[in-house]
A and B are shown apart, each in its own frame.
Chain A
Amino acid sequence: MSLARSLFALLGLVFLLGVQGQSVQAQENLDALRPLVNNLAKGKYDETQRQVEALVASGDPVVVPTLKALRAGDLYVRKADGEVFIATKGGKGYLLIDPLTTENAGEAGRRDVSKIKVNNRLRRVIDASMGSLTLMAADPKVRLAAAEAVFKAGDPEGLEPLEAALQKETDDDVRLVMEQARAAALLNSDRGDSDKLEAIETIASIGNRDALSLLIGVRDSTEGALQEAAAAAITKIEKSLAMWGNAQNIWYGISLGSVLLLAAIGLAITFGVMGVINMAHGEMVMIGAYVTFVVQELIRNSAPWLFDYSLFIALPLAFLISGSIGVAVERGIIRWLYGRPLETLLATWGLSLILQQAIRSLFGPTNQQVGNPEWMSGAFELGQLTITYNRMWIIVFALLVFAGLMLVLKKTPFGLFTRAVTQNRRMAASMGIRTPWIDALTFGLGSGIAGIAGVALSQIDNVSPNLGQGYIIDSFMVVVFGGVGNLWGTLVGAMTLGVVNKFLEPYAGAVLGKIFVLVFIILFIQKRPRGLFALKGRAVEA
Chain B
Amino acid sequence: MMNKLTARAASLALAGLMGTTMISGALAQEETIKVGILHSLSGTMAISETTLKDAMLMLIDEQNKKGGILGKKLEAVVVDPASDWPLFAEKARELIEVNKVDAVFGCWTSVSRKSVLPVFEELNSLLFYPVQYEGEESQRNVFYTGAAPNQQAIPAVDYLMNEEGVERWVLAGTDYVYPRTTNKILEAYLKAKGVAEEDIMINYTPFGHSDWQTIVSDIKAFGSAGKKTAVVSTINGDANVPFYKELGNAGIKAEDIPVVAFSVGEEELAGLDTAPLVGHLAAWNYFQSADTDVNAEFIDTWQAFIGDEERVTNDPMEAHYIGFNMWVKAVEAAGTTDPDAVIDSIVGVSVPNLTGGLSSMMPNHHITKPVLIGEIQEDGQFETVWETPGLVVGDAWSDYLEGSKDLISDWRAPMSCGNFNVKTGKCGGSEG
Residues of A within 8 A of B (CB): 45, 73, 117, 119-121, 123-124, 127, 209-210, 212-214, 216-217, 220, 248-249, 252, 255-256, 259, 357, 360, 364-372, 377-379, 386, 388-391, 460-466, 469-470, 502, 505-506, 509-511, 514
Known A-B contacts A213-B225, A213-B226, A461-B242; A123 and B47 likewise in contact (beta carbons under 8 Å): no
The answer to whether B221 has its CB under 8 Å from any CB of chain A is yes
In the complex, are the beta carbons of A386 and B164 less than 8 A apart?
no
Which of B97-105, B208-216, B359-367, B413-421 forms contacts with chain A?
A: B208-216
Apart from the given pairs A252-B217, A464-B271, 20 other A-B contacts in the complex at a CB distance below 8 Å: A119-B385, A120-B164, A120-B255, A121-B164, A121-B165, A209-B221, A217-B226, A252-B214, A364-B50, A365-B50, A371-B273, A379-B249, A386-B250, A388-B249, A390-B245, A391-B213, A462-B210, A502-B213, A510-B215, A511-B206
Candidates A123, A220, A465, A511; contact of B205 at CB < 8 Å: A511
The answer to whether B220 has its CB under 8 Å from any CB of chain A is yes
The list of the 4 closest CB pairs from A to B, nearest first, reads: A367-B271, A209-B224, A365-B46, A388-B249
Q: Which residues of B contact A212 (CB under 8 A)?
A: 224
Q: Which residues of A contact B215 (CB under 8 A)?
A: 505, 510
Query: How far, in whole Å, are A416 and B322 apart by their CA atoms in the complex?
Result: 67
Query: In chain A, what residue has the closest Cβ to B209?
Result: A510
Q: Which residues of A contact B41 (CB under 8 A)?
A: 365
B45 to chain A, nearest CB (A): 9
Q: Which residues of B contact A502 (CB under 8 A)?
A: 213-214
In the complex, are the beta carbons of A369 and B242 less than 8 A apart?
no
Query: How far, in whole Å, are A217 and B209 apart by their CA atoms in the complex?
Result: 35
In the complex, are the beta carbons of B226 and A220 less than 8 A apart?
yes
Q: Which residues of B contact A379 (CB under 8 A)?
A: 249-251
Query: How far, in whole Å, are A149 and B242 apart by their CA atoms in the complex?
Result: 28
Chain B, range 272-306, C-beta contacts under 8 Å to A: 272-273, 279, 281
Candidates A213, A220, A464, A506; contact of B238 at CB < 8 Å: A464
Query: In chain A, what residue has the closest Cβ to B250?
Result: A386
Known A-B contacts A366-B47, A366-B267, A462-B238; A124 and B255 likewise in contact (beta carbons under 8 Å): yes
Q: Which residues of B contact A216 (CB under 8 A)?
A: 225-226
In the complex, are the beta carbons of A367 and B206 less than 8 A apart?
no
Known A-B contacts A209-B220, A212-B224, A509-B204; A367 and B241 likewise in contact (beta carbons under 8 Å): yes
A sample of 25 cross-chain residue pairs with beta-carbon separation below 8 angstroms, ordered by A number, consists of A117-B385, A120-B164, A120-B254, A120-B281, A120-B375, A213-B224, A259-B210, A259-B211, A357-B42, A360-B42, A365-B47, A369-B271, A372-B245, A378-B249, A386-B217, A389-B249, A391-B213, A460-B242, A466-B44, A469-B44, A502-B214, A506-B214, A509-B203, A509-B204, A510-B206
Query: How far, in whole Å, are A405 and B218 apart by their CA atoms in the complex?
Result: 36
Query: How far, in whole Å, are A540 and B41 apart by their CA atoms in the complex?
Result: 45
Query: How far, in whole Å, are A465 and B40 apart by their CA atoms in the complex?
Result: 14
Known A-B contacts A368-B271, A466-B238, A510-B204; A461 and B225 likewise in contact (beta carbons under 8 Å): no
Q: Which residues of B contact A367 (CB under 8 A)?
A: 47, 238, 241, 268, 271-272
Query: How far, in whole Å, are A124 and B203 apart by their CA atoms in the complex?
Result: 27
Residues of B within 8 A of A (CB): 41-42, 44, 46-47, 50, 163-165, 175, 203-206, 208-211, 213-215, 217-218, 220-221, 224-226, 238, 241-242, 245-246, 248-251, 254-255, 258, 267-268, 270-273, 279, 281, 375, 383, 385-386
Query: How far, in whole Å, are A465 and B41 apart by their CA atoms in the complex?
Result: 13
Q: Which residues of B contact A505 (CB under 8 A)?
A: 214-215
In the complex, are the beta carbons of B210 and A460 less than 8 A apart?
yes
Known A-B contacts A119-B385, A462-B242; A372 and B204 likewise in contact (beta carbons under 8 Å): no
Q: Which residues of B contact A364 (CB under 8 A)?
A: 50
In the complex, are the beta carbons of B217 and A248 less than 8 A apart?
yes
Query: How far, in whole Å, are A220 and B217 apart by their CA atoms in the complex?
Result: 24
Q: Which residues of B contact A124 (CB under 8 A)?
A: 255
Query: In chain B, what residue has the closest Cβ to A514?
Result: B206
Q: Which residues of B contact A121 (CB under 8 A)?
A: 163-165
Query: How far, in whole Å, are A120 and B164 apart by their CA atoms in the complex?
Result: 7
Query: In chain B, what residue has the closest Cβ to A252?
Result: B213
Q: Which residues of A contact B204 (CB under 8 A)?
A: 509-511
Query: How far, in whole Å, are A120 and B46 apart by their CA atoms in the complex?
Result: 34
B115 to chain A, nearest CB (A): 21
Q: Which residues of A contact B44 (CB under 8 A)?
A: 466, 469
Query: How far, in whole Å, are A470 and B255 apart by their CA atoms in the complex?
Result: 32
Dominant secondary structure at the B interface? mixed
In the complex, are the beta carbons of B175 and A511 less than 8 A apart?
yes
Of A210, A464, A465, A469, the most chain B CB neighbours within 10 A belong to A464
Q: Which residues of A contact B248 (CB under 8 A)?
A: 377
A245 to chain B, nearest CB (A): 8
Query: How far, in whole Å, are A120 and B258 apart by their CA atoms in the complex?
Result: 8
Query: In chain B, what residue has the closest Cβ to A217?
Result: B226
Q: Which residues of B contact A366 (CB under 8 A)?
A: 47, 267, 270-271
Q: Which residues of B contact A368 (CB under 8 A)?
A: 271
B70 to chain A, nearest CB (A): 35
A120 to chain B, nearest CB (A): 5
Q: Which residues of B contact A213 (CB under 8 A)?
A: 224-226
In the complex, are the beta carbons of B46 and A360 less than 8 A apart?
yes
Query: How far, in whole Å, are A327 and B385 apart by their CA atoms in the complex?
Result: 54
Query: In chain A, what residue has the closest Cβ to B380?
Result: A369
In the complex, are the beta carbons of B255 and A214 less than 8 A apart?
no
Query: In chain B, what residue has the closest Cβ to A505?
Result: B214
A460 to chain B, nearest CB (A): 6
Of A119, A364, A371, the most chain B CB neighbours within 10 A belong to A119
Q: Which residues of B contact A461 (CB under 8 A)?
A: 210, 241-242
B259 to chain A, nearest CB (A): 10
Of A367, A502, A511, the most chain B CB neighbours within 10 A belong to A367
Query: How far, in whole Å, are A370 and B241 apart by their CA atoms in the complex?
Result: 11
Q: Which residues of A contact B386 (CB under 8 A)?
A: 119
In the complex, are the beta carbons of A506 and B218 less than 8 A apart?
yes
Query: In chain B, what residue has the closest Cβ to A365?
Result: B46
A463 to chain B, nearest CB (A): 8
A219 to chain B, nearest CB (A): 9
Known A-B contacts A367-B241, A379-B250, A510-B206; A123 and B217 likewise in contact (beta carbons under 8 Å): no
Q: Which residues of A contact B210 (CB under 8 A)?
A: 259, 460-462, 470
Query: In chain A, what residue has the closest Cβ to B221?
Result: A209
Q: Which residues of B contact A371 (CB under 8 A)?
A: 273
Query: How far, in whole Å, are A514 and B210 apart by their CA atoms in the complex?
Result: 13
Q: Which residues of A contact B165 (CB under 8 A)?
A: 121
Query: In chain A, what residue has the closest Cβ to B246?
Result: A388
Query: How far, in whole Å, are A123 and B248 apart by their CA atoms in the complex?
Result: 17
Of A255, A368, A470, the most chain B CB neighbours within 10 A belong to A470
Candidates A123, A370, A377; contact of B249 at CB < 8 Å: A377
Q: Which residues of A contact B206 (CB under 8 A)?
A: 510-511, 514
A384 to chain B, nearest CB (A): 11
Query: How far, in whole Å, are A509 and B172 apart by their CA atoms in the complex?
Result: 11
Candidates B163, B254, B270, B383; contact of A45 at CB < 8 Å: B163
Query: How far, in whole Å, are A119 and B226 apart by their CA atoms in the complex?
Result: 21
Known A-B contacts A360-B42, A388-B250, A464-B47; A255 and B273 likewise in contact (beta carbons under 8 Å): no
Query: How far, in whole Å, are A469 and B44 apart by their CA atoms in the complex?
Result: 10
Query: How far, in whole Å, are A210 and B50 apart by their CA atoms in the complex?
Result: 45
B233 to chain A, nearest CB (A): 14
B291 to chain A, nearest CB (A): 10
A304 to chain B, nearest CB (A): 15
In the complex, are the beta carbons of A119 and B224 less than 8 A apart?
no
Query: How far, in whole Å, are A119 and B165 apart by their CA atoms in the complex?
Result: 12
Query: How far, in whole Å, are A465 and B44 apart by their CA atoms in the complex?
Result: 8
Q: Which residues of A contact B50 (CB under 8 A)?
A: 364-365
Query: In chain A, what residue has the closest Cβ to B268?
Result: A367
Query: How far, in whole Å, are A511 and B174 apart by their CA atoms in the complex?
Result: 9
Q: Which residues of B contact A389 (CB under 8 A)?
A: 249
Query: How far, in whole Å, are A210 and B213 apart by their CA atoms in the complex?
Result: 19
Known A-B contacts A120-B254, A121-B165; A466 and B225 likewise in contact (beta carbons under 8 Å): no
A249 to chain B, nearest CB (A): 7
A438 to chain B, nearest CB (A): 35
Query: How far, in whole Å, are A453 and B86 apart by their CA atoms in the complex?
Result: 34
Query: In chain B, what residue has the closest Cβ to A501?
Result: B211
